[in-house]
Amino acid sequence: MTRYEDKTFENQHVNLDEGVFVNCVFKNCSLEYSGGDVYVQNCQGESCQLVWRGAAQRTIFLLQGLGLLAPAAQLTSAETPRVQ
């Protein structure tokens, strides 16, 4: 696993799988997760987008289907998504 400590990621696409993130800040990033091993401790995200792939995406669909996780809101073209 790759370790990142006290690092700021800004305007980047970050693959979280196989990563260790300690005291990191993610600003305006696309954070991708596919279900692999990941460890996150004391990190902050600002205006980031989560991207689910593979096993992680199937888990999200399962949780939504069971009513344990609300589906993402449908946006019209005039709306801008906000992730905090």
Confidence of residue 73 (pLDDT cuts 50, 70, 90): low
pTM of the model: 0.79
Pairs from 36-39 (Cβ < 8 Å, separation ≥ 24):
37/1, 39/1
Which two three-digit tokens encode residue 22? 């300690």
Average pLDDT over residues 18-44: 98
Whether residue 43 is contained in a domain is answered as yes
Number of domains in the chain: 1
Residue 53 pLDDT: 96
Whether residue 70 is contained in a domain is answered as no
Burial 1-15 (b: 16+ CB within 10 A, else e): eeebeeeebeeeebb
Confidence of residue 16 (pLDDT cuts 50, 70, 90): very high
- Region at 7 (left for phi over 0; alpha for psi -120 to 50; beta for the rest): beta
Indicate the DSSP class of residue 11: S
Domain range for 42 is 2-65
